[in-house]
């Protein structure tokens, strides 16, 4: 397909489908009647009774955050146990080391899916299906639930942020599971395998030998991998493997899956707080995403490291979509990408809201709005307000800390990795020497991906060392939960504020606001990260 046509089909089709998705999400956020409400409610109520949940109980931000963290930690402990004792379950593949199992558990519950292993070589069918695929539902459902609670903080007064367990179950049962199931069927039609057989043997290949090909429940993992901003591949080559993305159509559909939920959140926001505000945020996201695509497409990549069935455009398009949505899947080797696409990937992970991951990407968008309103308010001498509610100094401090914890989580461990020699060892450089720009970029990318809960990386299985497993696990945890907790604190603060009918000092909609928001977002990012970009990808 023509490159321009592919771009229009994917972006235009995703925006079109995001409208009904967004309207449905808005109903879930506001607890309005949904299509098929009666049968859905019966199924959900059955789960509430089994687990012992009072669906009418509203949670404060502290209760909501506590429920989210505890649920994720329990699932993380389950993943860790299953991977360490993988040898106990058929087909009895060797269990993972403690540090790799810990890294993988943290990786999957934080929606990162960083892989210091090759899935087809390290994991059994049981581990891929019952452990990792299960976690791929839990992690995005938690992020989407946090997004729901965050938005409720701006539309409800003195009524709590909802109930995490109710949101969590509803999101999995009525949003993720149906779409993932249908997508798995479509991917099977497009050539992605789905079987419980771990391998198939081909007798008498063209070379006259027998060949064993690893298979398994790939389509079911692949569908939720892309839909849930997960990114962890069944195979070590991720979406570059022909069984994960066989052709151009599967490549396009997987991009659609990655974009649809993140782009649905501004639509839901528009439905709940006003079309002007929601559409303005959607346009800001799309324009910013267009900038990332323009940077990526400005330089050809490959041919080394690229799949011939996708080429430079298909690889750069897919990887830009994947990394900007914090999915982290890759349909080519990142080493095959030129410097400009790599810079685009870094920008997407630095900002985390173009459009970002399911749920959390929109949270970061609003955080940038709060910071922008504060800065603009200082410039024009106005008290910062958002949706006719005062933004308190406490709100600003929390928003600033959410912004600053990200560069700290990237730059500090990068420095530690080089000063201790662990970066040089994995990059094949003598410990007493500094690496070149390419090596520095690879190490910086590892922690950027971990802090952004992205999961794409250069190191792959070479990162399977105690230092890199433990350090990236800590960074993935810090990149996920403290920002969510602090965001919920901001939402809880707004539920207590007075709503007034007045003209906003700074309008949060319209062309001027869109321009200022985009400018401030990229300016703050450039001021924070430009030095490391200059000595890294700019110098490659």
75 pLDDT band, cuts 50/70/90, is very high
Structural contact between residues 370 and 382, judged by C-beta atoms closer than 8 angstroms? no
pLDDT single digits (tens) 43-67: 898 889 888 889 889 999 999 999 9
pLDDT of the residue at 64: 97
The residue-averaged pLDDT of 93-121 equals 93
378 pLDDT band, cuts 50/70/90, is confident
Neighbours of 421 (CB within 10 A): 15
198 pLDDT band, cuts 50/70/90, is confident
DSSP state of 97: P
The residue-averaged pLDDT of 510-514 equals 94
CA distances from 202 to 141, 209, 212, 214, 483 (A): 40, 9, 6, 11, 49
pLDDT single digits (tens) 125-175: 889 998 999 999 999 999 999 999 999 999 988 788 999 999 999 999 999
Q: Is pLDDT larger for residue 484 or for residue 534?
A: 484
pLDDT of the residue at 157: 81
Quick check: bond before 434 cis, omega within 30? no
Which residues are registered as beta bridge partners of 211?
202
Q: CB under 8 Å to 528, separation ≥6 — which residues?
A: 350, 407
Q: Is the pLDDT assigned to residue 92 strictly greater than 90?
A: no
The residue-averaged pLDDT of 81-97 equals 87
pLDDT of the residue at 502: 61
Q: Is the pLDDT assigned to residue 11 strictly greater than 70?
A: yes
Share of the chain above pLDDT 70, in %: 99
Q: CB under 8 Å to 231, separation ≥6 — which residues?
A: 112, 113, 225, 238, 322, 327, 328, 329, 454, 455, 456
What distance in Å separates the CA atoms of residue 435 and residue 427, rounded to the nearest whole number?
8
Structural contact between residues 375 and 516, judged by C-beta atoms closer than 8 angstroms? no
CA-based nearest residue to 370, from 527, 486, 217: 486
1 pLDDT band, cuts 50/70/90, is low
pLDDT single digits (tens) 15-42: 999 999 999 999 999 999 888 888 888 8
pLDDT single digits (tens) 415-471: 999 999 999 999 888 766 778 888 999 999 999 999 999 999 999 999 999 999 999
What distance in Å separates the CA atoms of residue 252 and residue 239, rounded to the nearest whole number?
12
Q: Is the pLDDT assigned to residue 96 strictly greater than 80?
A: yes
Structural contact between residues 149 and 491, judged by C-beta atoms closer than 8 angstroms? yes
Report residue 232: phi and psi, to 5°. Answer: -75, 125
What distance in Å separates the CA atoms of residue 219 and residue 243, rounded to the nearest whole number?
9
Q: Is the pLDDT assigned to residue 500 strictly greater than 80?
A: no
What distance in Å separates the CA atoms of residue 374 and residue 386, rounded to the nearest whole number?
10
What distance in Å separates the CA atoms of residue 2 and residue 151, rounded to the nearest whole number?
39
What distance in Å separates the CA atoms of residue 384 and residue 314, rounded to the nearest whole number?
43
pLDDT of the residue at 514: 96
218 pLDDT band, cuts 50/70/90, is very high
Neighbours of 155 (CB within 10 A): 16
pLDDT single digits (tens) 263-312: 999 999 999 998 999 999 999 999 999 999 999 999 999 888 898 889 99
Report the first-to-last Cα separation within the chain, whole angstroms.
Answer: 31
pLDDT of the residue at 36: 83
pLDDT single digits (tens) 463-482: 999 999 999 999 999 999 99
Structural contact between residues 367 and 380, judged by C-beta atoms closer than 8 angstroms? no
What distance in Å separates the CA atoms of residue 382 and residue 338, rounded to the nearest whole number?
44
SS3 content of the chain, % helix, strand, coil (to 5): 70, 5, 30
What distance in Å separates the CA atoms of residue 51 and residue 48, rounded to the nearest whole number?
5
- 208, with CB counted inside 10 A (0-12, 13-18, 19+), is exposed
| Residue appearing with tokens 């540090």 | 99
Q: What one-character-per-residue DSSP string does 244-298 give?
A: TS-SHHHHHHHHHHHHHHHHHHHHHHHHHH-HHHHHHHHHHHHHHHHHHHHHHHT
CA-based nearest residue to 458, from 333, 346, 345, 339: 333
């Amino acid at each position: 397909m023509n490159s321009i046509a592919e771009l229009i089909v994917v972006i235009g089709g995703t925006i079109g489908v995001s409208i009904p998705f967004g309207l449905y999400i808005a109903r879930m956020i506001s607890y309005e009647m949904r299509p098929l409400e009666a049968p859905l409610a019966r199924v959900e109520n059955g789960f509430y009774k089994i687990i012992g949940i009072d669906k009418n109980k509203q949670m404060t931000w502290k209760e909501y955050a506590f429920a989210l963290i505890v649920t994720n930690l329990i699932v993380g402990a389950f993943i860790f146990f299953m991977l360490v004792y993988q040898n106990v379950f058929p087909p009895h593949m060797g269990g993972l080391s403690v540090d790799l199992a810990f890294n993988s558990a943290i990786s999957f519950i934080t929606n990162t899916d960083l892989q210091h292993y090759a899935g087809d070589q390290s994991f059994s069918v049981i581990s891929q299906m019952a452990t990792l695929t299960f976690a791929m539902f839990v992690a995005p459902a938690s992020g989407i639930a946090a997004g729901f609670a965050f938005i409720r903080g701006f539309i409800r007064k003195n009524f709590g942020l909802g109930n995490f367990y109710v949101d969590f179950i509803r999101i999995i049962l009525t949003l993720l599971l149906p779409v993932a199931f249908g997508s798995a069927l479509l991917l099977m039609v497009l050539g992605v395998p789905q079987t419980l057989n771990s391998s198939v043997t081909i007798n008498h290949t063209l070379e006259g030998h027998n060949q064993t090909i690893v298979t398994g429940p790939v389509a079911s993992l692949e569908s939720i991998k892309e839909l849930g901003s997960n990114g962890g591949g069944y195979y070590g080559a991720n979406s570059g493997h022909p069984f994960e993305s066989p052709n151009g159509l599967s490549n396009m559909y997987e991009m659609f899956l990655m974009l649809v939920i993140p782009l649905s959140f501004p639509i839901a926001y528009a439905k709940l707080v006003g079309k002007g505000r929601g559409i303005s945020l959607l346009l800001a996201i799309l324009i910013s995403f267009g900038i990332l695509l323009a940077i990526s497409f400005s330089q050809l990549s490959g041919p080394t490291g690229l799949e011939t069935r996708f080429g430079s455009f298909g690889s750069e398009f897919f990887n830009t979509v994947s990394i900007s949505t914090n999915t982290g899947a890759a349909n080519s080797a990142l080493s095959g990408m030129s410097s400009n696409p790599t810079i685009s990937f870094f920008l997407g992970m630095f900002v985390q809201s173009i459009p970002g991951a399911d749920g959390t990407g929109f949270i970061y968008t609003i955080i940038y709005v709060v910071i922008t309103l504060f800065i603009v308010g200082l410039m024009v001498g106005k008290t910062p307000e958002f949706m006719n509610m005062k933004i308190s100094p406490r709100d600003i401090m929390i928003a600033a800390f959410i912004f600053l914890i990200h560069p700290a989580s990237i730059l500090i461990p990068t420095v530690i990795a080089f000063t201790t020699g662990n970066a040089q060892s994995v990059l094949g450089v003598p410990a007493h020497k500094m690496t070149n720009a390419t090596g520095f970029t690879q190490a910086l990318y590892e922690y950027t991906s971990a802090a952004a809960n992205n999961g794409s990386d250069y190191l792959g299985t070479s990162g399977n060392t105690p230092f890199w497993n433990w350090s990236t696990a800590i960074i993935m945890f810090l990149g996920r939960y403290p920002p969510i907790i602090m965001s919920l604190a901001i939402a809880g603060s707004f539920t207590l504020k007075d709503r007034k009918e007045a003209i906003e000092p700074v309008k949060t909609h319209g062309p001027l606001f869109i321009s200022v928001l985009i400018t401030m977002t990229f300016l703050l990012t450039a001021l924070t990260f430009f030095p490391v970009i200059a000595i890294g990808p700019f110098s490659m």
